[in-house]
Structure formats: C-alpha cells, structure tokens
Amino acid sequence: MKSGKQRRKPAFSKDKRRKHRHYRVTVIYRDGEKFARVYTDRDKAMSFAERQKKSAVVKETRVLEVGRQGLRE
C-alpha cells in the first residue's frame, strides 16, 4: 500500500508518436556554398553523402545525427 501522493508520469512518456532519428547531411561546395538535407534513415543519408562526394564541385560532406531541437537551427 502506497502512502502520500502518487507521482505523475512525465508528458513525454505518454507520447505514442513513431520514434525515429534524424540525420542531417551537409554538402560543402568548393565555392563555399552549403546545402543540407535531413533523412530519417541513416543508410540513405550515407549513400546520399557518398554520391555527392563523387562530384568535382563538392569539397566535403558531413553526416550528423540531430535531435528535434537541432532541426530548427
């Protein structure tokens, strides 16, 4: 038997939305311009980055896992 108040569950524990991760692919071109795209599938993000690296105008690509806060930069 419990005594005292019952603890409330945090709101995020009741969240029934689909859980997934986000991966941002940043492409940096030789002229300094940047382009970014977000994927929910890591394999797709990696293949996009590899495909972009083959281009002569691309200087660098980065794949970074971001949280929900990171998407609103």
pLDDT of residue 19: 75
The pTM score is: 0.66
Domain locations in the chain? 20-72
The burial class, CB within 10 Å (0-12 / 13-18 / 19+), for 63 is middle
Q: Which residues pair with 72 in a beta bridge?
A: none
Please list the alpha-helical segments (H only) found in the chain: 42-53
Q: Provide the pLDDT confidence category of residue 70 given band limits of 50, 70 and 90.
A: very low
pLDDT of residue 3: 63
pLDDT in tens, 4-63: 677 776 655 666 666 778 999 999 999 999 999 999 999 999 999 999 999 999 999 999
pLDDT of residue 64: 95
